[in-house]
Structure 1
Amino acid sequence: MGSATATSRTDRAAVRPSGQERTFGADELIVSKTDTRGIITYANDVFCRVGAYELHEVIGQPHNLIRHPDMPRAVFKLLWDTVASGRELFAYVNNLAADGANYWVLAHVTPSFGAGGKIVGYHSSRRRPATAGVEAIKPLYRELLAEESRAGTGRAAAEAGTALLNRRLAERGVDYDQFVWSLIPDAEA
């Protein structure tokens, strides 16, 4: 897995994108689970291998440990709002490994329910996305990032990106789920 030591918030901030992109097998799934605060409670071996982490380096850490700076805040706001409401979401996500490499995934994130139907955590299964889908999403993500950058940081950036995302979806006459599914080739659906 390499010699990554990114286990604290300070150390994680030091991980910078290297420009190297990696992938994983078409038959592999990256799987992780978190509690309701987004703290990793489970990660499979593919998560660790592709992310260049040892298991002990990710358990107990915030899932944003693998957040790539080129990912729009609006996408994560949509993701968390959706799963917190009890629904699933599919999204193209660019992740950042401990060694600075990036890797694209098609994520399927679902809430996990406990007794009485209460959300007790979240489960994410990620597969290797089709190159065409990644190439189709990149221009939108660049546009969202630029809008978020103009708005500042934090909540203002996420809200600006979300507003732009909603406008782009309305222009296409689709909701977010329809848009994402339009980027997945039939052979992979």
Structure 2
Amino acid sequence: MTINRPTPTLKEIRLDPEKIIVSKTDTKGVILYGNDYFCEISGYKESELISSPHNIIRHPDMPKTLFYLMWEHLHAGRSIVAIVKNMAKNGDFYWVVTDFDIKRDITGDIKYYIAYRKSAPRYVIPEVEKLYATLREIEKEHGMKAGVVYLESFLEDKRVNYDQFIENLIKSQDIKSNFLEKIKSWF
């Protein structure tokens, strides 16, 4: 499916810190469901989102390496927490902390993923932007595999995995634990 991508703007959409963006995708990343807040923030109608690839909201500032890492985790049945810059239909952007819930059928096969997104804390964005800019530059010069190698080395130097890196960045606000766990129980 060809996606007509908007031209990115420099305008940030500030998310309501009390609201959660929820989407459900199949194992290939095709959107099966999006809550009203997802439609509101992304600027897409529900009918435009359903059956579209989730990368319809991917901002070009996001490194391919991060999505490779996310899909590697999800396909292996492991959740991941990520800070992501998304792009609305009009080109505006918004930063989110994304957590995934992996849903399985009775045989244990993965059926679909539910993503829960909340406004990313302002103080983590500069550090994440710096890392993502470095990854994009490496990808541009040497390809995504080099970006993956760099990210692995970056995390190894900090003696953490990606989840731990992100959780350490947001720990003081405890954005993930209580609120997202409560929301996840609703689905």
What does residue range 97-136 of structure 1 map to in structure 2 within 5 Å? Answer: 97-136=88-127
TM-score, L = length of structure 1: 0.89
Q: Name 2:49's counterpart in structure 1.
A: 58
Work out which of the residue numbers 141, 145, 148 in structure 2 matches 1:159.
145
Work out which of the residue numbers 33, 36, 40 in structure 1 matches 2:31.
40
Check if 1:18 corresponds to 2:9: yes
Count of aligned pairs between the two proteins: 175
- Superposed displacement of residue 135, structure 1: 1.7
Check if 1:137 corresponds to 2:128: yes
**Secondary structure of residue in 1 paired with 2:71:** helix
Which amino acid in 2 is paired with 1:129?
A
**Secondary structure of residue in 1 paired with 2:98:** strand
Question: 1: CA distance between counterparts of 2:48 and 2:57?
Answer: 12
Q: Name 2:165's counterpart in structure 1.
A: 179
Question: 2: CA distance between counterparts of 1:138 and 1:160?
Answer: 18
Q: Structure 2, unaligned stretches of length 5 or more?
A: 176-187
Q: Name 1:4's counterpart in structure 2.
A: none
**Secondary structure of residue in 2 paired with 1:171:** helix
The farther-off stretch of 84-93 and 174-183 is: 174-183
Question: 1: CA distance between counterparts of 2:50 and 2:108?
Answer: 25
Does structure 2 conserve the Cα–Cα contact (< 8 Å) formed by 1:32 and 1:44?
A: yes
Does structure 2 conserve the Cα–Cα contact (< 8 Å) formed by 1:39 and 1:60?
A: yes
- Superposed displacement of residue 37, structure 1: 1.0
Percent identity at matched positions? 35
TM-score, L = length of structure 2: 0.90
- Superposed displacement of residue 110, structure 1: 2.6
- Superposed displacement of residue 158, structure 1: 2.3
Does structure 2 conserve the Cα–Cα contact (< 8 Å) formed by 1:106 and 1:128?
A: yes
Residues 115-168 of structure 1: CA deviation (Å, up to 9, x unaligned): 2111011110000111011122111011000000102xxxxx321111110011
Does structure 2 conserve the Cα–Cα contact (< 8 Å) formed by 1:84 and 1:111?
A: no
- Superposed displacement of residue 188, structure 1: 2.8
Residues 44-91 of structure 1: CA deviation (Å, up to 9, x unaligned): 011111101111110000000000000011100000000110111000
Question: 2: CA distance between counterparts of 1:183 and 1:37?
Answer: 29
Q: Structure 1, unaligned stretches of length 5 or more?
A: 1-7, 152-156
Check if 1:31 corresponds to 2:22: yes
